[in-house]
Amino acid sequence: MSTFTVLILMYVCLAGVGVFLDYIFAKKNPQYPPGPRGLPLVGNIRDIPFVKPWLTFAEWGKKYGDISHASVLGMHIFVLNSAKTAVEMLDKKSSIYSDRPVVPMSGELMGYGQTLPYLRYGEHFRSFRKNFHRALGSRAALVVYQPIEEMETRRFLKRVLAKPDQLQAHIRHTTGAIILRICYGYEVKENNDPLVDIAERTLDEFSRHAYIGEFMVDFLPSLAKVPEWFPGAGFKRIARECRVTVEEMAAIPYKFVKDQMVAGIASKSFSSDLLKDRILTAEEDHIVKWSALSLFSAGADTTVSAIYSFFLAMTLFPDVQKKAQAEIDAVVGPDRLPSFADRTSLPYIEALVKEVLRWNVVIPTVDHSVTEDDIHDGYHIPKGSVIIPNIWFMLNDPQTYVNPSEFNPERFLAKDGKEPETDPRTLCFGFGRRLCPGLHLADASIWLTAAMSLAVFGVSKVVENGVEITPEIDPSSGLISHPKPFKCSIEARSEKASTLIQQDT
């Protein structure tokens, strides 16, 4: 046998061994889902979107299917573009899909790692959730706070009537006032309230800097050790300034509650309920303090976005507004404002709020992390991977919602023998054990603002120099998405409506 023949046989044998080893490896390590092709070593670092990432992720879904895969510097990322897949993974297997990835910038450096949205899955996380469930776990639990919401929303109507061109500021003020009362029993001043100022700075900084991957330190955690003066380390200064604001927002209102309790004059609130009749350890005190901040930070900015979206929709879709007002006029009448007691009698308003939550998605994507290796639909999901449900696409999926770009509250009403379409609240507040614990509070605030505002205000497009101005639908990027600032005309519907608004609260 010639040397050449021996070499050929050896090659064939080695090739056969290679195929066999590949087969064994494939069985033990199932393939990843399809996704954009990456570069050696750095992976998909050029493919990860930072501006409105949900749009790019939706394109991935069309190209690669319900689950797509990317990697950046060894970090595996799985994007879910299907509500069914998200439920199967994040709800049904929540025991392993409820972790959060470590986010060096906003979590560790900015200080948000001490709040519930950033907590790793474990005992601390469960303690926080227990606190939330005790105070806000159901609509029934929120009944005690309904008078606060109704009073502050009446004040909102007065502010809008007086200065309708400052709508967004009024929404922020009122939402902050409600959440500060519920969290801490703190009643804000009408103007120049110091705590409102800190709160607005906290929310603004979080909205601008909290998206994972916006800073390279999120992919290279070792950069966190670089000194602030080092070229390119400007993120360290941003993080330091933001951390000061976060620490103030956690400490100042919490001290207010404690001082009020010592004086015996504390109002009922989330914090006072957790503090009363208890001697807390240092760890328990820390959990109550940061639980309260978690409630505030999670609820305030998201609710602002949803309510602002409601006014944008009323500006753009006058026919919807007229139907909603006709229902209020028929059920509530002109002599009083709607209240929570009317909620079950106003199905169109209920459907309208659902459509607002679906149409302009407040949190388009959210990050989970998996604590164990998993196989889903034959795909390998390694421990520690980042899982991103694309909530925006799920709420705009034409297979779930007919003509999703159309604003149509009637999709949520049973009509002509057709079942209502999927309630967006089953998707927009998250999944599994990471479901937003303040969802009932947010839902109630949006509903009440919509019902009261429609009862007394007419909302329409602004006319400038004889030209009607149509607002642009262009939601912002970032962890929390807001409608692009817009102009609208807001006027009392009648003299009687104006009188209702001016009544003492």
Q: Is residue 322 a contact partner of residue 465, using CB atoms and an 8 Å limit?
A: no
Please give the full DSSP string across 331-347, using - where no structure is assigned: HT-SSS---GGGGGG-H
pLDDT digits (tens, 9 = 90+) for 118-130: 999 998 899 888 8
pLDDT of residue 243: 93
Element (H, E) at 444: helix 439-456
Q: Is residue 177 a contact partner of residue 188, using CB atoms and an 8 Å limit?
A: yes
- Of the candidates 106, 79, 65, 104, which has an alpha carbon nearest to the alpha carbon of residue 367? 79
> In this predicted structure, which of 121-135, 198-212, 463-477 has the lowest mean pLDDT?
198-212
- Measured distance CA(258)–CA(184) in Å, rounded: 9
Q: Residue 99 forms beta bridges with which residues?
A: 369
Q: Is residue 394 a contact partner of residue 82, using CB atoms and an 8 Å limit?
A: yes
- Measured distance CA(339)–CA(333) in Å, rounded: 12
> In this predicted structure, which of 77-81, 373-377, 380-384, 415-419 has the lowest mean pLDDT?
415-419
> In this predicted structure, which of 13-22, 26-35, 39-48, 328-337 has the lowest mean pLDDT?
13-22
- Measured distance CA(31)–CA(392) in Å, rounded: 27
* Structural domains of the chain ordered from first start: 31-502 (1.10.630.10)
Q: Residue 368 forms beta bridges with which residues?
A: 387
**Tokens for 11?**
């090659």
pLDDT of residue 69: 97
- Measured distance CA(152)–CA(141) in Å, rounded: 19
Q: What is the mean pLDDT of residues 6-14?
A: 35
**Tokens for 420?**
């209502």
Residue 301 pLDDT greater than 90, yes or no: no
Residues 6+ apart with CB under 8 A from 118: 100, 103, 106, 107, 112
Residue 14 pLDDT greater than 80, yes or no: no
Top mean-pLDDT range of 28-42, 131-145, 357-371: 357-371
The pTM score is: 0.90
- Three-state SS sequence of 5-29: HHHHHHHHHHHHHHHHHHHHHHHHC
Is residue 436 marked as binding?
A: yes
Top mean-pLDDT range of 23-32, 129-138, 352-361: 352-361
Share of the chain above pLDDT 70, in %: 94
Residues 6+ apart with CB under 8 A from 301: 203, 206, 207, 480
Q: Where are the alpha helices (DSSP H) in 210-281?
A: 234-263, 270-275
> What confidence category does residue 247 fall into, taking pLDDT thresholds of 50, 70 and 90?
very high
Share of the chain above pLDDT 90, in %: 67
Q: Residue 10 corresponds to which amino acid?
A: M
> In this predicted structure, which of 125-134, 233-242, 427-436 has the lowest mean pLDDT?
125-134
- Measured distance CA(115)–CA(207) in Å, rounded: 15
